Structure 1
Amino acid sequence: MSENERVGRVAVVTGAGSGIGRAVAVELAAAGWTVALAGRRPGPLEETAALAADAAAAPAGGGAFAVPSDVTRPEDVTRLFAAAGERTGRLDLLFNNAGMFGPAVPLEELSYEQWRLVVDVNLNGAFLCAQAAFRMMKGQDPRGGRIINNGSISAHTPRPQSVAYTATKHAMTGLTKSLSLDGRPYGIACGQIDIGNAATEMTARMRTGTAQADGTTAVEPVMDVRDVARTVRHMAELPLEANVQFATVMATAMPYIGRG
């Protein structure tokens, strides 16, 4: 049995220290994947690795290892994918998940530095990781793999005072389409999951009250983040001949259909 066969399917998950990234990493590990965990904070990544190890205790379970890295830094991204390659020998999945909201302030009060940070994390980081994944997937044997981008409901419809986040998530849709097209000759599939109100630290404000398009503030329903993780796993485990191009997973009663 070769080293690659022993390792099995391999994924890189960014933003893996909490929330959706953590839930997806644990779900994949429980299903037998080996997962490289990327994020800026080593402590939370190690916590995710421990949760993945517990989940992987089941038959056919995989495992996870932390690679502290900042996706906005090209040298960190290079090191992340090099570490994944050295540890496992290949890459089957990139879950491009790292992201941030930015401050909810009037447009004229948003500083350029605040705008640039959101763009760097949500869009530039996603590009850098996708580029590194492409290089690995094109060069490995067997060739190919899958990229799943975390879009958002905001890739379709904005919330009030979210110009930077909304702009990057609309751009993520263009990135997804271009990756999907450019990946065709190399067996690289790319899809996008647009998530609405998964219960994580980032969406805590939904449960206490958040701004609505009509100027009011309202509590919004949330859903179990594990349902997002199961959806990502379904997308990830399709044969490369099939692809979920876009999937929307949301709290059923959240104000999205008819928002505004």
Structure 2
Amino acid sequence: MPQQIAVITGAGTGVGRAVALELAATGWQLVLAGRRAEPLRETARLCGGEAVTVPADVTDPVAVDALFSETAERFGRLDLLFNNAGTFGAPTPVEDLGHAEWRAVVDLNLTGAFLCAQAAFRLMKGQDPQGGRIINNGSISAHVPRPHSVAYTATKHAVTGLTKSLSLEGRPYRIACGQIDIGNAATDMTAAMSSGVRQADGRIAPEPTMDVADVARTVRHMAELPLEANVQFATVMATAMPYIGRG
């Protein structure tokens, strides 16, 4: 099987880094994207030093075009986009959320995901052999909200619509699109879970977490299916977290 090429956004930390390590260990060639160069270099080092690092702000159309142009120039094709870059934003009651804070979350979680998917779609549609796979990082919040998370929850519900639209429009071109919804993977972004986070009834309570490597293995399974098969939606979560019955 020829070496496969993947672009991972938000690859400097957390889920993005874990997925990079998992794919590198199984022979993928990686293009690692993120806003900060140093964490990307550290991810590349942990992957064995072979990964390409491209500092890029996925909310900037020019930066996104440059990211996928460099991928095409280096490797001639793209087999996988893991659309992972995102932010929760500061937990804020809906009536207090400022316009700038709303826009920052929407621009990164939704517009950034769209811009990267659009660029990947163009590349996959035009390459020979045609096709590829896009995996969007949704969230448990694509199903149910947390308190004080209106911007994050709204964007993750919107990512589900993006996933469905890409799946439909990709059919004629062998472009498969799926979504992984993650709950309480242990990363820097979820560090507060173990000490206590606000629940639907107003209590502050600790929540169980799971190893982020389990998320990475799930992404790899989705990524390595033949294009004739697709995991449309996968939910991977800490077994005992308050999701079933939340609220």
What TM bracket, shorter-length normalisation?
over 0.9
- Of 78, 82, 89, the residue aligned with 2:69 is 82
In the other structure, the counterpart of 1:194 is 181
Q: Distance in 1 between matches of 2:231 and 2:92?
A: 35
1:36-92: CA deviations, max 9, x gaps? 0000000000000001117xxxxxxxx311000000000000010011111111100
| Structure 2 residue runs without a partner (length 5+) | none
Alignment-mate amino acid for residue 185 of structure 2: A
How big is the alpha-carbon RMSD for the aligned residues of Structure 1 and Structure 2? Answer: 1.0
Q: Distance in 2 between matches of 1:194 and 1:164?
A: 17
1:8-45: CA deviations, max 9, x gaps? 10000000000000000111011100010000000000
Alignment-mate amino acid for residue 179 of structure 1: L
- Of 81, 103, 108, the residue aligned with 1:94 is 81
- 1:43 to 2:38 alignment: yes
1:105 CA displacement: 1.3
1:144 CA displacement: 0.1
- 1:125 to 2:112 alignment: yes
DSSP 3-state at the match of 1:24: helix
Q: Distance in 2 between matches of 1:89 and 1:33?
A: 15
Q: Distance in 2 between matches of 1:255 and 1:108?
A: 25
In the other structure, the counterpart of 1:180 is 167
- 1:18 to 2:5 alignment: no
DSSP 3-state at the match of 1:20: helix
Q: Distance in 1 between matches of 2:25 and 2:75?
A: 17
- Of 33, 52, 59, the residue aligned with 2:28 is 33
Q: Distance in 1 between matches of 2:177 and 2:53?
A: 24
In the other structure, the counterpart of 1:161 is 148
In the other structure, the counterpart of 1:231 is 218
1:127 CA displacement: 0.2
In the other structure, the counterpart of 1:60 is none
DSSP 3-state at the match of 2:48: helix
DSSP 3-state at the match of 1:38: strand
DSSP 3-state at the match of 1:124: helix
Q: Distance in 2 between matches of 1:42 and 1:258?
A: 41
1:106 CA displacement: 1.2
Alignment of 1:199-210 (within 5 A): 199-210=186-197
DSSP 3-state at the match of 2:234: strand
Q: Which runs of 4+ in 1 moved over 3 A?
A: none
Q: Distance in 2 between matches of 1:184 and 1:172?
A: 18
Q: TM-score, normalised by structure 1?
A: 0.94
In the other structure, the counterpart of 1:248 is 235
Give the paired residue count: 247
1:143-168: CA deviations, max 9, x gaps? 00000000000000000000000000
Identity in percent: 74
Alignment-mate amino acid for residue 158 of structure 1: P
Q: Distance in 1 between matches of 2:158 and 2:91?
A: 19
